[in-house]
């Protein structure tokens, strides 16, 4: 299948567990897993473990040069991460914990750290408010830092200004 008729620097895909089930050769350079909730269990014989394995298929061909961005507040994801070997660099985001690399909340700011760079943004500047939107913003900001997107561009993309 042809996804696009022109070449682009980046492609962003939202993949369902159903789509991931049939992907064997797909390799993401950057993968984001926001959370795992008991959806679509009917496709997995009502077994949560099968559904979790399906969601983690996005990591199956990742290498040491790739990045896996995930929510450290999602107990299901963390539990599964502790059971597997993942070659990709792990970059967590959380509204409860702080990290040397990843994203977290501190003093009403979203703080994103990647390599030797830190990006900060006040939560009230985010155009989309609410707990789940803060998670989405953190994941997007980490992705932006991995792709070397300038802080000004991140701020413009995430802010209501």
Q: pLDDT tens for residues 1-22?
A: 566 778 888 888 888 888 999 8
The first and second tokens of residue 143, run together, are 């992705």
Distance CA 36, CA 59 (A): 15
What was the pLDDT predicted at 144?
Answer: 97
Instruction: Give the helix/strand (H/E) hosting 68.
Output: strand 67-71
What was the pLDDT predicted at 2?
Answer: 62
What was the pLDDT predicted at 61?
Answer: 94
What was the pLDDT predicted at 1?
Answer: 55
Question: Tens digit of pLDDT for each residue in 115-130?
Answer: 999 999 999 999 999 9
**The domain over range 17-158 is classified in CATH as 3.30.2320.80:** no
Structural domain boundaries of the chain? Answer: 17-158
What was the pLDDT predicted at 8?
Answer: 84
What was the pLDDT predicted at 16?
Answer: 87
Concatenated DSSP letters of 29-60: SEEEE----S-SGGGGTT-HHHHHHHHGGGGT
pLDDT, tens digit only, all 161 positions of the chain: 566 778 888 888 888 888 999 889 999 999 999 998 887 788 889 989 999 999 999 999 999 999 999 999 999 999 999 999 999 999 999 999 999 999 999 999 999 999 999 999 999 999 999 999 999 999 999 999 999 999 999 999 999 65
């Amino acid at each position: 299948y042809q996804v696009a008729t022109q070449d682009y620097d980046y492609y962003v895909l939202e993949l369902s567990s159903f789509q991931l089930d049939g992907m064997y050769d797909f390799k993401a350079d950057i993968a984001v897993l926001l959370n795992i909730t008991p959806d679509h269990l009917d496709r997995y014989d009502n077994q949560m473990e099968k559904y979790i394995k399906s969601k983690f298929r996005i990591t199956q061909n990742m290498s040491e040069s790739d990045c896996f961005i995930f929510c450290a507040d999602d107990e299901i994801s963390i539990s599964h991460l502790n059971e597997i070997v993942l070659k990709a660099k792990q970059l967590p985001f959380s509204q409860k914990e702080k990290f040397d690399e990843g994203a977290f909340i501190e003093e009403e700011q979203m703080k994103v750290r990647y390599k030797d760079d830190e990006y900060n943004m006040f939560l009230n500047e985010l155009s989309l408010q609410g707990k789940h939107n803060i998670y989405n913003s953190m994941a997007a900001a980490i992705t932006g830092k991995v792709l070397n997107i300038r802080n000004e561009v991140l701020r413009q993309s995430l802010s209501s200004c």
